[in-house]
Structure 1
């Protein structure tokens, strides 16, 4: 189950059905869906978003830490900004992927970095040896975010999702080297 994680500006928490409209604003958005295809198509409406949230909540209830799906919420005004996840990658479910999906209005900020940093700390606190980020080759913003958080390029692969992607890897020592950056929280906490 996804543990509640709190950073300087964000709360990463379990999704609820009440988040459906805010989630639809993200997962129904064509700009977001562009980066999720073919794994996930745009969510067409509120009914479909509620069904998807029910599925995520049920999967999350069965997941063992550090696996999970989180709703990203801004602390100052409780606005739902998007979602984040730590999930096993197919095929084989051996590699652990860190992912995030924010409303396009927030892409220029550092919320993705802050959420990713919190999830990486959470994973490494649970004795994970390495995390991966799968980035589409034309997604420069995501590639910059993972590099800013200490992830190293591990090559191009078609191992995941049947398409060519850029693979980035993060190990605990890499995260420690990226921690002193002024625009990231020095420490994420659980509550």
Structure 2
């Protein structure tokens, strides 16, 4: 995993276990958490968030590049506002999924698409020729973000997570 990815307004860096207190409001927000299940269980308190972060840190150490999970901070003040991922999609891990999660207070500022483009550039720089994002049919915000990143809707599937999902694909030439 990359140590750090930087954009004009954001720093994407590896998660640390001591991020638990700042991460909890992001991953426990009902309008964020509802879209993460079943890939992520509910996170009711700081101790549970700490356990999640311990798992992420350990798993990231074993993932082949370019896969990983990043904490998303505002470059101007280091405030933690969300997370971004680039992970093998289940069940076989042959497709690479890009994802993003932001605290609702930071929605509508373009941070999710900026983080997504940074993760995509990282994947393409490591030799990948396409990456995917998946979203539930009712998650219109995620679908709109995928399109703003430059992703193309390629259909609907139940292949991943045993859910009906909208699938978006990004290739290097599509990245704005």
Give the structure-1-normalised TM-score. Answer: 0.89
Alpha-carbon distance between aligned partners in 1 of 2:72 and 2:132, rounded to the nearest angstrom: 20
Alpha-carbon distance between aligned partners in 2 of 1:92 and 1:118, rounded to the nearest angstrom: 25
Report whether the alignment pairs 1:72 with 2:50: no
Match for residue 130 of structure 2?
130
Contact 1:29 1:42 (8 Å CA) reproduced: no
Alpha-carbon distance between aligned partners in 1 of 2:150 and 2:23, rounded to the nearest angstrom: 28
Which ranges of structure 2 fall in alignment gaps of 5 or more residues? Answer: none
TM superposition shift of 1:3: 2.7
SS, match of residue 34 in structure 2: helix
Q: Deviations over 1:11-33 (max 9, x none)?
A: 00011122101111111111111
Which ranges of structure 1 fall in alignment gaps of 5 or more residues? Answer: 179-191
Alpha-carbon distance between aligned partners in 2 of 1:53 and 1:93, rounded to the nearest angstrom: 21
SS, match of residue 40 in structure 1: coil
Match for residue 6 of structure 2?
6
RMSD: 0.9
Contact 1:30 1:42 (8 Å CA) reproduced: no
Report whether the alignment pairs 1:160 with 2:155: no
TM superposition shift of 1:106: 1.1
Give the structure-2-normalised TM-score. Answer: 0.97
Larger relative contact order (Cα-Cα within 8 Å, sequence gap ≥ 6): 1
1:21-36 aligned within 5 A: 21-36=21-36
SS, match of residue 105 in structure 1: helix
